[in-house]
Amino acid sequence: MDKNILSIFNAKKVIGLYVSQDTVDLVLLKSSLGGPKLIKFGQVYIHPKETQHNGEIIPDAQAGNVSITQGDLSEKNKTKEEYIIEAIKKVFKENNVKPGDVITAIPSEETMVRYFQMPKIPKQERKAAVNFEAKRYIPFRMEDVVSDFQVLPSKTIPNSMDVVFVAVKKNTIEQYLNMLIAAGLRPMIIESAPFSLMRAFNAAGQINTKINTAIVNINLGTLNVSILRNGVPYIIRDIPLSEIAPEDKSFEPVFEKILAEIKLSFDFYEKQFPNEVIDKIIIYSKLPLGNWHEIVGKELQIPVEIGDPLRGIKVKSGVVPARAAVCFGLALRGLAEPFIDINLCKEKSLVYKKKELFLRMVFLEASIAVFLLIVLKVFTIRATVPLTNELNKTLSERPKAEVNIKSDNIADLEKIKNEMETRKYILENLISSRTYLTSRLQGIVKILPKNMWLSEMSFEEKIDKKDTSKITRFFNIKGYYVIDEKIGDKDVANVFLSALKETKGINNGMYRADIVSVKRMEIKGKKVSSFEISLVGP
């Protein structure tokens, strides 16, 4: 069970959903330091003529103050699938749980679970080999089923492996997936219901993998017997029972049949494994057992325990869950070890994960683009402010084309003309030799190496007071880059420096470029180097 300290700050929530014969069960669990915590539980009866009362499923006639309206009667033409979809939506709405990713299960009677042993095979060849071997145990063509398997190291035969193989007919799984999708859900995992039951009792500490354990699950119309050896289900049997109504006064005939089927299952197991015996029985039932489990223990001379899935879960105050061990086991799969790692909708869940990854990447790229636009805007504003100031200063200081002619002497006029042409030449030289920071910034963006970022840039032009045609430019660049152990610290800076020298938009008017400093340091656990490069000219 996940009980690390990070679960306090990043608590995981998992929804388990199970469509049983008569109800839709929902369990919302949350990870915590003390183990899984039950946040929400919901149960909705599928058929409109029956409802819940005090956690039990009973006919409407016994529910008290419940009547069938004309609207209910008009729903008689609905299919069972439509009723199930409505029940799924209702259980989410009533418990204020947002539909989304769910872990769910197919009822045991709809799935085929087989155990067999094979020689140890390399991982890359297992799928084809297991599917070929499974043809001996599945009464359908492999093309007509959806399947998955888990390989476990054999504890009895050297150089062999135990295989738990599960298959379900394609039309069954497709029908189930269509109902879940129609209800607005994303099924991430679908398994066989007995595995969910095993996980619930395992989390409750009721299963010991060192002893052989039988799990007996009694529903209103079916009996399921699972026998675990070393924690692996070797036998899973589904036996139909006669129709049982909750208002029946006596279940004695049914219990007699159940006891006979349990004995038959045990006999079959012990014939397959003559040296093995059943050490423990866990009974879980939707029927009131009374003291029947004690009778089973005395009859079979085997310790019997009542299944209690809540033993391994913290229950939130005010939440009173009904009997839905399968649903608890499903929610636990998202918070604990899977016990048996079978997923009958891997392809579907892979599609959901790829779609989710795609959306995350789109969002991330959009966020980065917005961030870069903001950074570019900040840089542009910072860069244009000094340029605007320089322009205003230049305009204010530019020579005025005013001529004060005090004499009409030709020699004096020639002198004035020569002075004006000299001033014009100096002004044109200043304007033609002026450079701008914007083009340099655009050039730097194109040549900036990967894993390098800039922290500060400054650009300055100084006019020689004695010779106004002479302009000295200073361009300082400071930044950091992540250290690559394969490349020297100064090599990265030298590569960047060479690129600066070769890019015309950057080195315009500056012909000397030098590395001022390179210093190694550590930022947030990453080894980086700071650097400073200076460009001066002419």
* Model confidence pLDDT, tens digit, residues 436-457: 677 777 778 888 887 888 888 8
Percent of the chain beyond pLDDT 90?
Answer: 27
Fold adopted by 435-538: Threonyl-tRNA Synthetase; Chain A, domain 2 (3.30.980)
**Whole-model pTM over 0.85:** no
Cα 301–306–309 angle (5° rounding)? 145
Delimit the domains of the chain by residue range.
435-538
Amino acid at 405: I
Tens digits of residue pLDDT in 109-130: 899 999 898 999 898 999 999 9
CA dihedral 157, 160, 161, 165 (to 10 degrees): -100
Q: Rounded to an integer, what distance in angstroms lies between the CA atom of residue 236 and that of residue 112?
A: 9
Query: Which pLDDT score is estimated for 157?
Result: 80
CB 18 within 8 A of CB 328: no
pLDDT for the residue 133: 92
Mean pLDDT of 66-93: 73
Confidence band (pLDDT; 50, 70, 90) for 429? low
- For residue 374, what pLDDT is reported? 85
The better pLDDT of the pair 55, 325 is held by 325
Backbone angles phi, psi at 67, to 5 degrees: -130, 160
Q: Could you tell me if 336 and 1 are in contact, meaning their C-beta atoms sit under 8 angstroms apart? A: yes
Top pLDDT among 4 and 242 is at 242
Side chain identity at 306, as an amino acid letter?
I
Vertex 181 angle, CA 179 and 185, to 5°: 115
pLDDT band at 167 (very low <50, low <70, confident <90, very high): very high
Average the pLDDT over each of 75-84, 85-94, 482-491 and give the range with the smallest value.
Answer: 482-491
- Cα of 387 vs its chain's centroid, Å: 49
For 18-69, write each residue's pLDDT tens digit.
998 888 999 999 888 878 888 888 999 987 544 444 334 333 333 333 333 4
H or E stretch at 60: helix 60-63
| pLDDT value at 303 more than 90 | yes
